[in-house]
Amino acid sequence: MNTSLRKIILIGISFSLFGFQCEKNLTGPILKGKLAVNGICSNITITLLEGELEQNQFENRWTDPVTGVTHQKAFRLANPCQFPSHISEGDEFYFRVSTRVDNNCATCQAFYPTPQTALAIQVE
C-alpha cells in the first residue's frame, strides 16, 4: 500500500472517530426549556418546560432571591461557554443533556444567585 493511500485511510478513520466522540456527549431525548434568568457573568437559570429529567437534575421550585420570582423545574447552566448568545431571557428553546462541560471562555467573577443544581446542555 502506498503512502498516499495510507494517509487517506488514516484521515478517514480519524474523522470517523472524532465524529463518534461528539455524539457520545449528548444523552436522552430533546427537551424544551426557557432561559428564566440571564444573570450577570453567565449565571444562567433555565427552567424545563417539556420533557422529563431525573429528579436530581433540577429543583422543583427555586425562588430568585433578588426578584422574589419562583421558578418551577429550574437548574443552573453548568456550561455557559457553550450557550448561544442569541437566546435572550424569556426565550424558549430545545436542548439535550450534555456530558461536555467546556468552560474555556472569559467570564467575569460577579455573582448572581442560581439554583444549586447544575446541568450541562446543548441547544438544538
Alpha-carbon distance 114 to 43, whole Å? 7
Per the CB < 8 A criterion, the answer to whether 41 and 109 are in contact is yes
pLDDT tens digits for 40-56?
Answer: 999 999 999 999 999 99
Q: Residue 44 in contact with residue 114, Cβ under 8 Å? A: yes
Residue pLDDT, tens place only, 85-107: 999 999 999 999 998 887 788 88
Pairing relation of β-strands 92-98 and 59-63?
Answer: unpaired
Mean per-residue pLDDT, 68-81:
97
How would residue 1 be classed by pLDDT, with cut points 50, 70 and 90? low
Cβ atoms of residues 46 and 34 within 8 Å: yes
Q: How much is the pTM?
A: 0.78
